[in-house]
Homo-oligomer: A and B are copies of this chain.
Amino acid sequence: MKNPSTYPVSARGPADHDVRSQIVAAATEHFSHYGYEKTTVSDLAKAIGFSKAYIYKFFESKQAIGEMICANCLRQIETEVSAAVAETDAPPEKVRRLFKACTEASLRLFFQDRKLYEIAASAATERWQAVIAYEANLQKLLRDVLQEGRLSGDFERKTPLDETVMAIYLVMRPLLNPLLLQYSFDYAEEAPAHLSNLVLRSLSP
């Protein structure tokens, strides 16, 4: 591979996006194998075959790379969950799929496929921007499902919507948040069904 650190900085343009994606893809691969915490930008540069200086032209720190990996990962969970919810028209079934898809996607992305747990844990502990946006998006999705169910008459309307969203979000948290999910493996199989059934009983008009 040509050493990209010899590219002139002034050459930045549309191709920058590609280089950033390339760094993120290689870093994701590297962190998956060697962990996020212990890897330095130097290790990463060596592994990718870029110079450290070149990486710093695109990302100001290891965390900036981690944040992009994390954002990609959370966006994928969001996409999977939205797709699962959109597959059905019935609001109660949407609630069930929300619980199931959230748990399955989180387990797979944080703990199995890519071993991104360390990045996800740092992100959750330090409340990176991507995490805040992700939580807001999931709450928005939940709120939309609840509103739909209230309109269709499937769900009760007495409880203030904000309160219902908050309470259900708290019920889902151990299945979403990687810090909590790591201690919930024993329950991960059955918890989504148990919890979504309880939530559906709480929503009955």
Cα A203 to Cα B204 in complex, Å, equals: 10
Closest to A180 in B: B180
Closest to A177 in B: B183
Closest to A201 in B: B202
- Report yes or no: A170 in contact with B195, Cβ–Cβ below 8 A: yes
- Report yes or no: A194 in contact with B163, Cβ–Cβ below 8 A: yes
Interface majority SS (helix, strand, loop, mixed), chain A? helix
Distance between A203 CB and nearest chain B CB, rounded to angstroms: 8
Interface of chain A residues 146 through 205 with chain B (CB within 8 A): 156, 159, 163-164, 166-168, 170-171, 173-174, 177, 179-180, 183-184, 187, 190-191, 194-195, 197-199, 201-203
- Report yes or no: A167 in contact with B195, Cβ–Cβ below 8 A: yes
- Report yes or no: A201 in contact with B170, Cβ–Cβ below 8 A: no
Cα A177 to Cα B179 in complex, Å, equals: 13
Task: Write the residues of chain A forming the contact surface with B, with a CB cutoff of 8 angstroms.
Answer: 124, 156, 159, 163-164, 166-168, 170-171, 173-174, 177, 179-180, 183-184, 187, 190-191, 194-195, 197-199, 201-203
